[in-house]
């Protein structure tokens, strides 16, 4: 079967490897659609994993939807022909962190994956991924392309649950790419009174303005002053950081209202530290928190929203490439110019 090997953002090589052989309790899924995540082009993140594994390349891809084409012995509740989304990471539901609600800090979640990765024609789904609620059968009304968004939108659902986004609050989103647009839509659905967004790209600001945002600002503007002007002389109750830019991380600290929350959905690279005005935060009871990944309950929430058609996801797809053009696809994503979600389709004819 064909796969795409990642060496770096500018070096993606098409290769062939044997189709995975199933063991007991496992599934083989034929990949129909596979989204490229922003984390797939974070080179520092990918290079660190290569170093840890002692390899010089990776087969990436974790936003997948496809068909079950083979079933190992002992699998129940699933059948050949089922259209599925599969989560690459699953928690154990038993450890201290899972019992505290921090499923994405679970050691099992950080060590599970499917084989070899979504940028391939087929993936083998291990038994543990099936047993730990990692397989979602798609309703006939949910397309493969909608299925691709279950994981990225699940991450958004988790973040907003942790930040307690809700009725009557004002939300500021720093970074108006795919995750920023998903955050904007969900914040409105959760009852946010006003949603503001920033970016350095006029293209992305134009895109997010079509998804319910009340006002957009160029990231180089004086954002605290803009908030006071357009938010009844008040800063934002919730600030969601959706970009790894250090400038945005620092900007977030100055945009949150007393009693508010700054949630880092994206972060700067390793070794970068923030100087927090801790005395002001102490006096105003401001919370700083983070959110990483998604657990099965977040994916279930994501799926329900997508199934309801109240969240718009396929409108975020700007490019589709066959697997053989994975290098071109990665170039589009890493350049971050006029693109949002980029999809690889192993079965797409050139």
- Domains of the chain as residue ranges with CATH: 2-152+294-345 (3.90.180.10), 164-290 (3.40.50.720)
Classify residue 18 by its DSSP letter: P
% of the chain with per-residue pLDDT over 90: 98
Task: Give the pLDDT band of residue 190 (cuts 50, 70, 90).
Answer: very high
Residue 185 has pLDDT above 60, yes or no: yes
The average pLDDT across 41-50 equals 93
Residue 350 has pLDDT above 60, yes or no: no
* Confidence (pTM): 0.96
Which residues share a beta bridge with 322? 345
Is the separation of the CB atoms in 172 and 197 below 8 Å?
A: yes
Question: What b/e sequence results for 113-129 when a residue is b if at least 16 CB atoms lie within 10 Å of its CB, and e otherwise?
Answer: bbbbbbbbbbbbbbbeb
The number of helix segments (H) and strand segments (E) in the chain equals 13, 15
Question: What b/e sequence results for 51-64 when a residue is b if at least 16 CB atoms lie within 10 Å of its CB, and e otherwise?
Answer: eeeeeebbbbbbbb
State the pLDDT at residue 348: 74
How far from each other are the two terminal CA atoms of the chain, in whole angstroms? 17
Q: What token pair was written down for 273?
A: 């530290």
State the pLDDT at residue 311: 97
Which residues share a beta bridge with 2? 16
C-alpha 182/C-alpha 62 separation (Å) is 18
A 10 A CB-CB count for 13 gives: 12
Residue 323 has pLDDT above 60, yes or no: yes
State the pLDDT at residue 347: 80
pLDDT in tens, 274-321: 999 999 999 999 999 999 999 999 999 999 999 999 999 999 999 999
The average pLDDT across 226-254 equals 97
C-alpha 265/C-alpha 242 separation (Å) is 5
Assign residue 101 a region (left: φ > 0; alpha: ψ between -120 and 50; beta: otherwise). Answer: left
State the pLDDT at residue 349: 60
pLDDT in tens, 263-286: 999 999 999 999 999 999 999 999
The average pLDDT across 205-223 equals 97
A 10 A CB-CB count for 146 gives: 23
Residue 110 has pLDDT above 80, yes or no: yes
C-alpha 244/C-alpha 266 separation (Å) is 5
Task: Give the pLDDT band of residue 232 (cuts 50, 70, 90).
Answer: very high
Q: Which residues fall within 8 angstroms of residue 48, CB to CB, at 6 or more apart?
A: 270
Kindly report the average pLDDT of the chain as a whole number: 97
Is the separation of the CB atoms in 116 and 88 below 8 Å?
A: no
Classify 312 as helix, strand or coil.
coil
Residue 1 has pLDDT above 80, yes or no: yes
Among 273, 208, 205, 288, which residue's Cα sits nearest to residue 240? 288
State the pLDDT at residue 267: 96
Residue 97 has pLDDT above 90, yes or no: yes
The average pLDDT across 117-128 equals 97
The average pLDDT across 151-164 equals 98
Residue 21 has pLDDT above 80, yes or no: yes
């Amino acid at each position: 079967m064909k796969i795409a090997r990642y060496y770096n953002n500018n070096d993606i090589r098409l290769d062939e490897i044997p189709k995975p052989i199933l063991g007991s309790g496992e599934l083989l899924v034929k990949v129909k659609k596979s989204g490229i995540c922003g984390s797939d082009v974070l080179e520092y993140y990918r290079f660190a994993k290569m170093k840890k594994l002692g390899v010089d390349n990776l087969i990436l891809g974790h936003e997948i939807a496809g068909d079950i084409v083979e079933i190992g012995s002992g699998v129940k509740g699933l059948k050949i022909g089922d259209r599925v989304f599969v989560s690459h990471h699953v928690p154990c539901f038993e450890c201290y962190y899972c019992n505290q609600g921090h499923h994405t800090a679970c050691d099992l979640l950080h060590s599970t994956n499917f084989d070899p990765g979504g940028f391939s024609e087929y993936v083998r789904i291990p038994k543990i991924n099936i047993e730990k609620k990692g397989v979602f059968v798609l309703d006939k009304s949910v397309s493969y392309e909608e299925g691709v968004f279950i994981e990225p939108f699940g991450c958004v659902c988790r973040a907003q649950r942790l930040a307690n986004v809700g009725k009557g609050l004002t939300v500021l989103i720093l970074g108006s790419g795919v995750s920023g647009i998903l955050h904007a839509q969900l914040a409105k659905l959760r009852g946010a009174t006003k949603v503001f967004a920033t970016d350095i790209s006029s293209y992305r600001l134009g895109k997010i303005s079509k998804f319910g945002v009340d006002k957009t600002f160029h990231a180089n503007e004086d954002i605290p002053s803009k908030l006071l002007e357009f938010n009844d002389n008040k800063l934002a109750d919730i600030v969601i950081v959706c970009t790894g830019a250090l400038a945005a991380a620092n900007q977030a600290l100055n945009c949150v209202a007393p009693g508010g929350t700054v949630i880092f959905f994206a972060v700067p690279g390793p070794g970068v530290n923030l100087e927090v005005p801790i005395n002001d935060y102490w006096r105003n009871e401001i919370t700083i928190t983070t959110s990483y990944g998604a657990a099965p309950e977040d994916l279930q929430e994501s799926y329900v929203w997508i199934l309801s058609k109240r969240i718009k996801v396929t409108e975020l797809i700007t490019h589709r490439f066959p697997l053989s053009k994975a290098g071109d696809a990665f170039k589009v994503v890493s350049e971050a110019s006029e693109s949002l979600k980029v999809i690889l389709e192993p079965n797409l004819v050139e």
